[in-house]
């Protein structure tokens, strides 16, 4: 079994308008390539700060952002696990 990651799996459709024009949101300071991808519409730039409400996906059709929102408790647990 090969579990390698593939680029085109698991990209959801928009829960609001059901468009397939959904891109991942890139967090952190983007590289030159990150900016180029954003200009091509391949990713959305989410800024340098990721927090508990940061969504994973953005819809290019309606602007909705969604997915993988952590609850505050989940986020604290993750941070606690990482710090200890």
Size of the site for Zn ion (CB under 5 A): 8
- Measured between alpha carbons, how far is residue 60 from residues 16, 42, 72 in Å? 12, 10, 27
20 binds Zn ion (CB under 5 A): no
Cα–Cα distance for residue pair 45/27, rounded to 1 Å: 6
CA torsion angle 34 36 37 40 (round to 10): 160
Indicate the residue among 11 and 77 with the shorter CB distance to Zn ion. 11
Indicate the residue among 69 and 72 with the shorter CB distance to Zn ion. 69
43 binds Zn ion (CB under 5 A): no
Selected binder of Zn ion within 24, 34, 55, 64 (CB under 5 A): 64
Q: Shortest gap between Cβ of 56 and Zn ion (angstroms)?
A: 14
């Amino acid at each position: 079994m090969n579990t390698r990651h593939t680029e085109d799996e698991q990209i959801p459709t928009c829960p609001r308008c059901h468009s397939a024009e959904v891109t991942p949101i890139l967090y952190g300071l983007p590289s030159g390539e990150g900016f180029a991808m954003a200009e091509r519409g391949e990713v959305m730039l989410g800024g340098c700060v990721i927090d508990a409400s940061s969504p994973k996906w953005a819809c290019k059709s309606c602007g909705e952002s969604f997915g993988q929102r952590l609850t505050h408790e989940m986020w604290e647990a993750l941070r606690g696990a990482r710090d200890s």
